[in-house]
A and B are shown apart, each in its own frame.
Chain A
Amino acid sequence: MTSPDPRAGFSELKFRDPVRARAMVEALGRITDEIGRPRVSVMHVCGSHEQAIAKFGLRATFPRALHVIMGPGCPVCITDTREVDEGVALARQGVHIATYGDMLRVPGTVMSLADAQAEGAAIHVIYSAGQAVELAARLKEPVVFFATGFETTAVATAAIVLKGLPDNLSILSAHKYIPPAMDIVAATPGLAVEGFLAAGHAATITGWGVFEPFVNRHRLPVVVAGFEPLDILAGLVKLLELVRDGAPAVVNMYPRCVTRAGNLRAQEALWEVFQPSCGRWRGIADVPDGNLAFRDRFTGVDARTRFAIDVASLPRRPVSVTAGSCICGSIMAGIKSPTDCALFGSACTPEHPVGACMVSSEGTCKIWHQYGGHPDLGGIA
Chain B
Amino acid sequence: MCLGVPGKVVAIDGNCATVDFWGVRRQVLLDVVDEPVAVGDYVLNHVGYAIRRIPESEIGETLALFEQLLAQDDAADLMAGDVRAEIAGTGAVPDDES
Contact = CB atoms under 8 A, between A and B. Distances in A.
Interface of A: 1-4, 9, 12-13, 16, 46-49, 51-52, 55, 73, 75, 100-101, 126-131, 149-150, 152-153, 155-156, 158-159, 162-163, 199-202, 204-205, 227-228, 256-257, 262-266, 269, 361-362, 366-367, 370-371
Contacts of A128: 47-49, 89-91
Contacts of B76: 1-3, 370
B19 to A, nearest CB: 13
Nearest to B74: A3
Given A4-B72, A370-B76, A256 B61 contact: yes
Contacts of A73: 2
28 contacts: A3-B74, A4-B72, A16-B64, A48-B2, A48-B3, A48-B82, A75-B1, A127-B47, A127-B85, A128-B47, A128-B49, A128-B90, A130-B89, A130-B91, A149-B47, A150-B1, A152-B1, A153-B46, A204-B51, A256-B61, A257-B58, A262-B34, A266-B32, A266-B34, A269-B32, A361-B81, A366-B78, A371-B78
A205 B51 contact: yes
Contacts of B49: 128-129, 155-156, 159
A131 B4 contact: no
Interface in B31-52: 31-34, 44, 46-49, 51-52
A52 B79 contact: yes
Q: How large is the interface on B (under 10, 10 to 19, 20 to 34, 35 or more residues)?
A: 35 or more
A159 B89 contact: no
B88 interface: yes
A345 to B, nearest CB: 15
B63 to A, nearest CB: 11
B55 interface: yes
Contacts of B55: 256
Contacts of A149: 1, 47
B9 interface: no
A34 B51 CA distance: 40
Contacts of B57: 256
Contact of B32 (A130, A263, A366, A371): A263
Contacts of A256: 54-55, 57-58, 61-62
A153 B47 contact: yes
B98 interface: no
A55 B62 CA distance: 18
Given A127-B89, A155-B32, A263-B52, A4 B74 contact: yes
Interface in B69-94: 69, 72, 74, 76-79, 81-82, 85-86, 88-91
A202 B46 CA distance: 10
B79 A55 contact: yes
Given A2-B76, A9-B68, A130-B91, A159 B4 contact: no
B91 to A, nearest CB: 6
A55 B29 contact: no
A75 B54 CA distance: 25
B66 to A, nearest CB: 10
Given A48-B2, A127-B47, A269 B89 contact: no
Contacts of A47: 1-2
B34 A131 contact: no
A128 to B, nearest CB: 3
Contacts of A367: 78
Nearest to A47: B2
